């Protein structure tokens, strides 16, 4: 096989290793000790290899401070555990490399969710409550034997099913940070996922009862911070626009049905 030299590369591209001394600041706080105030703990880290923020945190926990709390499971941006504020922006620690950042790096826990300690927040409890609020499961009276489905429709469902529940969208959302009952982009997305699923029988007016209010679709200001921060690039803009149209329509006509 012929191969151009320009296509040959090392597994780690050179610009991913910058060989700097990084100044990392991490917010430390334990809600069980409320009399000790939150503070920023400083560490210096040598950037001699290509390292992610997660690698930095693991090294600190294994070698310096085993009490440091943060969450990580998959290391590959599929489990949604490791979201945190990285220099003021919500993002996944496992797929953010230090080379993408300046040498001063500040880490805070995600806002909006309940703090467990340091960088760890309770997304699990919040998302479970969201499933209950949106009844995040197929509502169908039929049998499961009809397996014929249009592939394009299944692809569209998969597109929205890809949410990893990291919470970045909620953390970056102005509405959510003002109102802790706001359903957030993740919740609206969940509604949309079942709304477009041909196997789910809920009607527009049923959905209107769930999200057709100020804590749902009408609380969303459509500035789309969620779209910018979603690490899975879920098509938030189109999805929210579609949902808004449907809900407005259901609001006008739906109730009379």
89, interface contact from ligand FES, ligand SF4, other proteins, none, CB < 5-8 Å by kind:
none
39-46, strands of its sheet edge to edge: 39-46, 21-28, 104-108, 83-86, 89-92
68 binds, among ligand SF4, ligand FES, other proteins, none (CB under 5 to 8 A by kind): other proteins
Least CB distance to ligand SF4 at residue 125 (A): 15
Reference 172, options 237, 87, 89; nearest CA is: 89
- Exposed/middle/buried for residue 15 (C-beta within 10 Å: 0-12, 13-18, 19+): exposed
For residue 151, give the 3-state DSSP assignment.
helix
Q: Which does 185 bind (CB under 5 to 8 A by kind): ligand SF4, other proteins, ligand FES, none?
A: ligand SF4
Under the criterion CB under 6 A, does residue 72 sit at the interface with ligand FES?
yes
The CA distance from 123 to 137, in Å, is 19
Our finding on whether 250 is near ligand SF4 (CB under 6 A) is no
Alpha helices in the chain (DSSP H): 53-59, 123-134, 151-161, 168-171, 174-178, 184-195, 204-211, 225-229, 236-253
- Considering only 155, 178, 252, 256, the residue that binds other proteins (CB under 8 A) is 155
What are the C-alpha distances in Å from 3 to residues 7, 9, 14, 200?
7, 12, 21, 50
Q: Which does 144 bind (CB under 5 to 8 A by kind): ligand FES, other proteins, ligand SF4, none?
A: other proteins
**Binding positions for ligand SF4, 10-39, rule CB under 6 A:** none
Interface residues with other proteins (CB under 8 A) are 1, 3, 7, 9-13, 16, 30, 32-33, 50, 61-63, 65-69, 71-81, 95, 116-117, 123-125, 127-128, 131-132, 135-138, 140, 143-145, 147-152, 154-155, 157-158, 161-162, 164-165, 194, 197, 199-200, 232-233
Interface residues with ligand FES (CB under 6 A) are 72-75, 77-82, 92, 94
């Amino acid at each position: 096989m012929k191969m151009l030299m320009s296509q040959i590369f090392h597994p780690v591209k050179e610009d991913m290793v910058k060989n700097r001394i990084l100044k990392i600041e991490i917010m430390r706080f334990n809600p069980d000790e409320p009399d000790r105030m939150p503070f920023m703990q400083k560490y210096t880290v040598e950037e001699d290899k290509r390292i992610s923020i997660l690698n930095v945190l693991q090294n600190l926990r294994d070698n310096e401070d085993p009490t440091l709390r943060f969450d990580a499971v998959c290391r590959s941006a599929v489990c949604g555990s490791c979201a945190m504020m990285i220099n003021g922006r919500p993002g996944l620690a496992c797929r953010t490399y230090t080379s993408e950042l300046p040498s001063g790096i500040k880490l805070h826990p995600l806002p909006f969710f309940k703090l467990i300690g340091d960088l760890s927040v309770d997304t699990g409890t919040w998302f479970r409550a969201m499933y209950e609020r949106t009844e995040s499961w197929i509502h169908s009276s039929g049998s499961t034997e009809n397996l014929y489905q249009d592939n394009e429709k299944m692809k569209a469902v998969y597109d929205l099913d890809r949410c990893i529940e990291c919470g970045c969208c909620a953390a970056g959302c102005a509405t959510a940070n003002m109102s802790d009952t706001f359903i957030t982009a993740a919740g609206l997305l969940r509604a949309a996922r079942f709304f477009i699923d041909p196997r789910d029988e809920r009607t527009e007016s049923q959905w209107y009862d769930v999200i057709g209010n100020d804590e749902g679709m009408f609380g969303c200001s459509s500035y789309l911070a969620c779209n910018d921060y979603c690490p899975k690039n879920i098509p938030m803009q189109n999805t929210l626009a579609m949902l808004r149209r449907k809900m407005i329509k259901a609001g006008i006509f739906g109730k009379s049905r």
